[in-house]
A = this chain, B = another copy of it.
């Protein structure tokens, strides 16, 4: 398959493919001659993955490059890779609150109270803090009780996530990382649809 054919197969312009090659988002094809390279299905797959992570996952290309590196580096220890993946996925946190610095560390306290087994150094605790503070800034601050109600249901989601992780390590890493990113938008869309359903159901009963 030549570059133009890869372009047709993936729906991405030749110019963009060249760009992805330069940026290391796409592995080079087999060099046939100095002006020709051969691409195969792995390239088509890769391009689709990159577009999915970019368009739906909303990740910047630089982050996608790191993600790809992690999931294509074989061997390595499970935990090591997952940790690297987590660090990779996190947007650099700007540490600034929204005018007031109150409420930092609420997430840790809440998680402890709830009895969740999570590393107290986990960066997603800071993410939760940030997101919680943002809700406050938006004037829709919520209390621990409401967070607990959310958490009840999210636990169920996480169980599905863990349930469906393949046993083979290579596939597992791929699933965990890509699944985490790409399933988020699915859940977001489901949430909006479910809101409509619930609200229509309630309305229908009155």
Point out residues on A near B: beta carbons under 8 Å.
9-11, 44-45, 47-49, 51-53, 55-58, 86, 94, 96-99, 107, 111, 116-119, 122, 124-125, 127-128, 130-135, 137-140, 142, 146-147, 149-162, 164, 174-175, 178-202, 204
B154 touches A185 (CB 8 A): no
Nearest neighbor of A89 in chain B, beta-carbon distance: B192
Given contacts A118-B197, A150-B157, A154-B191, 18 further A-B contacts (CB under 8 A): A10-B99, A11-B99, A44-B99, A55-B134, A117-B200, A124-B193, A125-B193, A127-B188, A127-B192, A128-B189, A146-B164, A150-B160, A153-B154, A154-B190, A156-B156, A158-B195, A161-B195, A161-B198
Nearest neighbor of A149 in chain B, beta-carbon distance: B160
Also in contact, A182 and B117, with CB within 8 A (given A98-B11, A127-B189): no
